[in-house]
Amino acid sequence: MASHLPATTDSLAMALEANSAAESISILQRVLADPSSSPDSLRIKEQAITNLTDFLRKENKAEDLRILLTQLRPYFSSVPKAKTAKIVRGIIDAVAKIPNTSELQISLCKEMVEWTRTEKRTFLRQRVEARLAALLMETKEYPEALSLLSGLIKEVRRLDDKLLLVDIELLESKLHFSLRNLPKAKAALTAARTAANAIYVPPAQQGTIDLQSGILHAEEKDYKTAYSYFYEAFEAFNALEDPRAVYSLKYMLLCKVMVNQADDVAGIISSKAGLQYLGPDLDAMKAIADAYSKRSLKLFEASLENFKAQLEEDPIVHRHLSSLYDTLLEQNLCRLIEPFSRVEIAHIAELIELPVDHVERKLSQMILDKKFAGTLDQGAGCLIIFNDPKTEAIYEATLDTISNVGKVVDSLFVRSAKIMV
């Protein structure tokens, strides 16, 4: 191992290449411990911070990264604020790449927020707070995240930092969506779009806006508009080779299934763009599309079981597939009971290959929702289907007559008022 400190960035790089990871980390720590604050020394330290961050991330030493960020505080007083912000965010990003560090990231961000308040570094504090709010949302600490965002939005609006405002408004939209408050989620997204229209927005951020727009339109059952937004997001992420491209593509396929165009799914997957992302996510959507095309509940349930991580653990897909499953179940039940006026529930359950209690609950719900006229005889275990009641035409004609008479009386009243005047 080298016995002296590297004098230049080139000698630092050579020293790192000649030693193992553990020895390289030791060299870099000694470089950072050097009290010198000359321009050359600061430049070498900056390179050492970058290298040490990479080494610690590769070694999954999240706690060491946290300690490093604390140790660097004296160094931050010697370098420009913009460079400090870059280093701090780089180390926090490095911790985020280490698995199972959510709690550590939250703790680290809270420490940095306190430090930035003490040092009056507003620019950096706002960005760390935005990161903290995102982490709190991921860990489902919704009240704390919402409280943090509310204050941050007011502050950033006063400073008119449009780029940060777009990020925060987008985050607020996602947070309200997680809380199932659709009107506020849409309002926050509209605010983000308004701020984005006033500045240049990086492609990744524009893709995020389009992705959130698609999610909100899908929630309103406007799947055609949602598809177009998901397509725009996919193109942006695909060009950047962003991992979110596969999710955008998955949601595009979901929209095709939801608008009864499941046959288009195979074509999209086999296209040039789709072939780049072949894997469990696309296989899951293809299985769902096949089950829907065949109107097979058995295949649908098998797909949910075989691709649980891709379908049930994705909250957006799971919510829409639950609705799709209910629709498919109702269609199958209506088709099966159509020839009967009285039929055993057990027989329907056997035909549809589902548990009797499950079928009974669904039939009861369909009767209450007036999907068909009938009643359940639970003592005999039977479903009794009534003929569709015919609406008497005379009722509509009577209502029309009464409405017309009302208009005539109103007209006469207006005329009489004029005469009296």
What is the DSSP annotation of 242-310? -THHHHHHHHHHHHHHHTT-TTHHHHHHTSHHHHTT-SHHHHHHHHHHHHHHTT-HHHHHHHHHHTHHH
Over 90: is that where the pLDDT of 328 sits?
A: no
Over 70: is that where the pLDDT of 18 sits?
A: no
Over 70: is that where the pLDDT of 10 sits?
A: no
Over 50: is that where the pLDDT of 12 sits?
A: yes
Residue 154, domain member (yes or no) = no
Residue 279, domain member (yes or no) = no
How many folded domains does the chain comprise?
A: 2
Mean of pLDDT over the chain? 86
Last residue of a domain, one of 79, 114, 131: 79
The 3-state secondary structure of 346-368 reads HHHHHHHCCCHHHHHHHHHHHHH
Residue 341, domain member (yes or no) = no
pLDDT of 250: 93
Give the range of the structural domain holding residue 41, as residue numbers without chain letter: 1-79
Per DSSP, 139 falls in state T
Q: Model confidence over 169-180: pLDDT tens digits?
A: 999 999 999 998
Residue whose entry in the numeric block shows the structure tokens 């009794």: 384
pTM more than 0.85: no
Burial (CB count <10 Å: 0-12, 13-18, 19+), residue 97 = exposed
Q: Model confidence over 195-243: pLDDT tens digits?
A: 999 889 899 999 999 999 999 999 999 999 999 999 999 999 999 989 8
Over 50: is that where the pLDDT of 3 sits?
A: no
Question: What would the mean pLDDT of 337-346 be, rounded to a whole number?
Answer: 83
Burial 332-346 (b: 16+ CB within 10 A, else e): bbeebbeeeeebebe
Over 50: is that where the pLDDT of 365 sits?
A: yes
Residue 115, domain member (yes or no) = no
Residue 319, domain member (yes or no) = no
From the list 421, 257, 41, 15, the residue with the least C-alpha distance to 33 is 41
Question: What would the mean pLDDT of 312-339 be, rounded to a whole number?
Answer: 85
CA separation for the pair 89, 112 (Å, rounded)? 10
**Residue type for position 161:** D
Last residue of a domain, one of 25, 54, 79: 79
Q: Model confidence over 42-54: pLDDT tens digits?
A: 788 888 888 888 8
Over 60: is that where the pLDDT of 2 sits?
A: no
Q: 188 falls in which pLDDT band (50, 70, 90)?
A: very high
Residue 68, domain member (yes or no) = yes
Last residue of a domain, one of 50, 79, 108: 79
The answer to which of 60-64, 224-228, 377-381 has the lowest mean pLDDT is 377-381
The answer to which of 182-191, 313-322, 409-418 has the lowest mean pLDDT is 409-418
CA separation for the pair 118, 73 (Å, rounded)? 12
CA separation for the pair 330, 221 (Å, rounded)? 18
pLDDT of 9: 62
Residue 12, domain member (yes or no) = yes
Q: 388 falls in which pLDDT band (50, 70, 90)?
A: low
Give the residue with greater pLDDT, 216 vs 55: 216
Over 50: is that where the pLDDT of 1 sits?
A: no
Residue 34, domain member (yes or no) = yes
